[in-house]
Amino acid sequence: MTDWTGGYIAEINYTHGYYQELSPLRIAMAFASAGLQAPANGVACALGFGQGIAANLHAAASVTRWHGTDLNPAQAAFARDLAQVSGNGAQLVDQSLAEFVGRDDLPDFDYICVHGIWCRVSPENQALIVDFVRRKLKVGGVLYISYHCQPGWAPMVPVRGLLTSYTNTMTAPGAQRIDSALDFTDRLLETTPAYFAAYPRVAERLQSLRAQNNQYLVHEYFSRDWQPASFAEMAAILGVAKLTYACPARYLDHIVELNLSRSQHALLAELTDPMLAESVRDFMVNQHFRADYWVKGARALSLLEKAEAMRRQRVVLVAPPHLFALTITGRAIEGQLSAAIYVPLLQLLADYQPHTVGELEEALADQGLNLVQIFEAMLVMIGKGNLMLAQEPAAIEAATATAQRLNLALFEHARSREDIAFVASPVLGAGVSAPRIVQLFLLAHVEGVRGVAALTDFVWETLSLQDHRVAKDGVRLDAPADSIAEITVQAERFETDFLAIYLALRVIA
Amino acid sequence: MTQWTGGYVEGIDYTHGYYRELGPLHAAMALAHAGVRMPAVGNACELGFGQGLSTNIHAAAGSAAWYGTDFNPSQAGFAARLAQAAGSGAQLLNQSFADYCARPDLPDFDFIALHGIWSWVSLDNRALLRDFVQRKLKPGGVLYLSYNCHPGGAPMVPVRDLLSGYAARMTAPDAGIDQRIDAALAFADKLLATRPAYLEAHPQLAERLAGLQQQDRRYLAHEYFNQDWQPVSFAEQAATLGAAGLEFACSAHHLDQIGLLNLSAPQRALLAQLPDPVLCQGVRDLMMNQNFRRDYWVKGSGQPRIDPAEHDAALRGLRVVMVMPRADVDLRVRTSTFDIALNQAMYTPLLDLLQDHQPRTVAELEHAVPMRGGLRQLYEAIFILCGTGVLAPAQAPAAVAAARAACRRLNLALFDRARSSDDINYLASPVVGGGLPMPRIPQLFLLAQAQGVRGAAAWSEFAWAILAGQQLPLQRDGQPLSTDADQLAELRRKADIFERAYLAMYQLLGIADTA
């Protein structure tokens, strides 16, 4: 349901982003796909949680108990407020990594996630993280770690060096440092430097930085420590903490045919060393960013166990079936999905209720679809954002109250801000996309407002009071009549296509 | 791979190259161009000297006392034997950096040289080297440091990691480094054929990877198959060395220093707007797509740049000598950016004067061939001719006299090696206080001359007697010569040319015995 209001997602503030990959509930399906024994789900920890959106959504929507820290007190304070108001029990603090990892009152963890910060912290802090994982991750536990990687970032390293070097020497700390550095690179590019002539793609990327928002640029290009890591390097570093590489966190990365040509796949198959194969694969796809699961003690499933683990996965449709496009864009191919597989699956899933893969397999047995095809289709649909994993009924019951309390707080936040575009679903045990206007519709629904006209009035009243406007196709609508017309269109879509989904996902009571 | 190497590849020796940048006289010219004070060099040190050819040549031909270490025992042994043969007194050892840098019996140094190794050693070793320079380089002393750098080296990091990763994980440790390299390159070929997205995005890298097949395995072993290989940016290097009290002086590559030869007018204009020297070098590296930097750094006096009067005096005191027959001089300069024809009117009088291969001071040249742009313009011309190898810095007469005997002994040892090997192509000259290029065949002629054999006919017979049994067919125009008669005729042709055009010059340069 990522795209239903086009433009909205792109406008989300970087730091308020939500990454569903951080949810520990996603591990089970990835591990089933990789043929590995999934860990227990119980106590989780986020190192560097940012605004804490993911930690709060996951804590509120599931029975996982969360701990975490983020250095930035403003971010931590915001995250703690959300935790408190929802009563999700998340223990979120603003300690430095050194302070946090040195605490003696933390439990051992089933799951630790380190999202995005690895390349931006100093080598000393990287060592602290590895030592923390070594000591505090339970046997069988999983580390999620994401980082900018080689080879994709290698040619950008000198560019980043130039930008930081320029800002450090040529701009005043209080000035518009990024703009001034980008002005300089424009002038530099005009002189056709040999490096950019040799690597024109690097010049293109440098030119595209103008279009990025400054908060993103600060993190990515102007922070003091920043070093892309190679997979082999990470394997060596995490090996010290007794971790083994498990599998990619992004489901589409599990499907070989999407990402590699036949000859690439054949060459990889010749490499008997899995660590080397992973590095070669990064080369083949020009990997820029890795998001992986690492496990303390990998245990391979037998074929029978693997089939059973695949069948156990529970999924639920989170977007209207008619919005599902039968196309897929992988790294290697852009292709059509087979209607013979996806159409019957969508029919079964159209009730927006959770189904296990085993149930789907049974229901489709007479259509000649096998477990592997169905499981792969689930990976694809989740990767495309149309489908998500669902929790067990008991976990859904246990999480419903906290998730809905958190959502009410988020709706309240949405009355005056548009920076958080996700809400919690106890069915999913995770967050689900809901842009500001949708959150206002949901709030209206909770308050008993019914019908397109009334929903529109409710939203327009909230926005117009603050002189806020809505945008259409990325353009701000200034005339009130235009705004009202656009809100009406969206309210109609909400009522016809989306309200039923949010209710099924128990986003609201 | 054994432990004593600290991850450094072994089982294959590094090339027997000679690098003139490691010579204090070369450094003096470069620093004078940049307006930085050059110290008198009494003690010099090279860390990681490889085969030690540069150190041995400079120890025999120059006036400095040389010290150094290389961790590889066969290389260090070779270097120490050469030092002994030359009687140059160079103290060349076979210790790890950790052991060597901790020695209490080393003097303080005026000149320390680190060629290439910085990029190839572990972070721990880099810290040792930095600390050594901080402790042992005298105030005002000069560090020569070369390293693989950004931006040119950065996109190759993943390529290198893949090759060394393949060799480390997919070949047997005892297979022999040659075979391991071949296996890794064969894999690289297969990988290229699958059109990996990284190389598709940067076709230049695909070309560089494909080009590795043609490279010398010895070079590849050290450049691509070490445990450590990390190109660094100039800014990072400046920060590291700054913490050790060093300041950037100038490039050790003469032609690199001259903006006109390397940068377009808009590039020079943009650089002129950057007051920060470190940023300026970093931007220049982007403009030139620099892969490898060779620089001189000075131990901080805070004010290494000298005032104009002292600068002029420093320039006038330098000596140069022509080390190429006048007829061979091509007045073109080729850099990575440009191919430039030098101004005939300006350069001809200078070359005409110097063609007698007598050393002259810049002051004498200023008097004899004045230039409209004065001393600085004259020095720029001299500097460019040194860069292209037409001229070389020369020592003062007393130093030349003092170096003659050691140079002759070293050269005799090198001639002896040339009897059975063609891997060393440099000889020591007491006049230039350093090395000059000399291929194997003329080395054999020089050996004949040293043994009292006179004349081209006799030299070619002498060389043929050595070569005939070794089944290394001589070549002409890249084609191997099959018959003995053809080979002997080719030797005779070379001997005639050598006698006619080169013998007298090399006698003046102290390389060939006089009658």
Question: Measured between CA atoms, how close is B367 to chain A, in angstroms?
Answer: 41
Percentage of the residues of chain B whose pLDDT score is greater than 90: 80
Asked if pLDDT for residue B302 goes beyond 70, the answer is: no
Cβ atoms of A361 and A374 within 8 Å: the answer is yes
| pLDDT band per the 50, 70, 90 thresholds, residue B301 | low
Are A193 and B289 a contacting pair at CB < 8 A? yes
- On the question of pLDDT at A487 being above 50, the answer is yes
pLDDT tens digits along A185-230: 999 999 999 999 999 999 999 999 888 877 778 777 877 778 899 9
Q: What is the mean pLDDT of residues B438-457?
A: 96
pLDDT tens by residue, A262-286: 999 999 999 989 899 999 999 999 9
Tell me the pLDDT band of A332, cut-offs 50, 70 and 90: confident
- Decide if pLDDT at B304 tops 70: no
**From CA B241, how far away is CA A58, in angstroms rounded?**
48
pLDDT at res. A164: 87
Query: Residue A149 — very low, low, confident or very high, per pLDDT cuts 50/70/90?
Result: very high
Per-residue exposure over B257-273, b if at least 16 CB sit within 10 Å of its own CB, e if not: bbeebbbbeebeebbee
Mean pLDDT of A5-34: 68
pLDDT of residue A473: 80
DSSP state letter for B103: -
Asked whether residue B4 carries a pLDDT value surpassing 60, the answer given is: no
The CB-side HSE value for B304 (13 A sphere, CA atoms) comes to: 24
- Quick one: average pLDDT of A335-339? 91
Least CA distance to A284: which residue of chain B? B196
8 Å CB contact of A155 and B154: yes
User: Facing residues of B69 across strands?
Assistant: B47, B93
pLDDT band at B303 (very low <50, low <70, confident <90, very high): low
pLDDT in tens, B22-34: 999 999 999 999 9
Whether A465 has a pLDDT exceeding 90, the answer reads no
Find, in chain B, the residue whose alpha carbon is nearest to that of A195.
Answer: B289
Q: Is residue B471 over pLDDT 80?
A: no
**Residue B156 to residue B137: CA distance in whole angstroms:** 33
* Angle between the N-to-C axes of helices A177-190 and A214-221, in degrees from 0 to 180, rounded to the nearest 10: 70
Contact B154 A190 (CB under 8 A): no
Rg (CA), chain A: 23
What is the rounded average pLDDT of the residues B456-460? 97
Residue B189 to chain A, least CA–CA distance (Å):
11
Look over chain B and give the mean of its residue pLDDT values, rounded to a whole number: 92
Tell me which CATH code domain B3-151+230-299 carries.
3.40.50.150
φ, ψ at B465 (rounded to 5°): -60, -35
Sorting pLDDT into bands at 50, 70 and 90, what band is A15?
very low
pLDDT of residue B12: 52
Q: Report the predicted TM-score, pTM, of the whole model to 2 decimal places.
A: 0.87
- CA-nearest residue of chain B to A205? B201
Q: Which of A149, A157, A167, A171 to mutate to test the interface with B (most CBs of B within 10 A)?
A: A157
Q: Which of A65-74, B5-14, B185-194, B346-355 comes out lowest in average pLDDT?
A: B5-14
pLDDT at residue number A494 = 96
Give the chain B residue whose CA is nearest to the CA of A263: B194
pLDDT at B227 over 80: no
User: What are the start and end residues of each CATH 3.40.50.150 domain in chain B?
Assistant: 3-151+230-299
- Does the N-terminal peptide bond of residue A73 adopt cis geometry, omega within 30 degrees of 0? no
Tell me how close the Cα of A325 comes to any Cα of chain B, in angstroms.
27
The fold of A12-151+226-303 is Rossmann fold (3.40.50)
Give the residue-averaged pLDDT of B326-353: 92
Q: How sure is the predictor about B9, in pLDDT bands with cuts at 50, 70 and 90? A: very low
Give the chain B residue nearest A153 (alpha carbons): B155
From A158, A191, A267, residue closest to B191, measured CB to CB: A267
- A152 vs B: CB within 8 A: yes
Instruction: Between B302 and B416, name the one with better pLDDT.
Output: B416
- The domains of chain A are located at 12-151+226-303, 154-221
Residue to substitute from A187, A204, A286, A288, interface B, most B β-carbons within 10 A: A286
The residues in A 297-336 lying below 8 A from B, measured between CB atoms, are: 331
Residue B151: list chain A partners with CB under 8 A. Answer: 155, 157-159, 195
Q: What is the pLDDT of residue A265?
A: 94
Query: What average pLDDT score do residues B175-203 get?
Result: 91
* A12 has pLDDT over 60: no
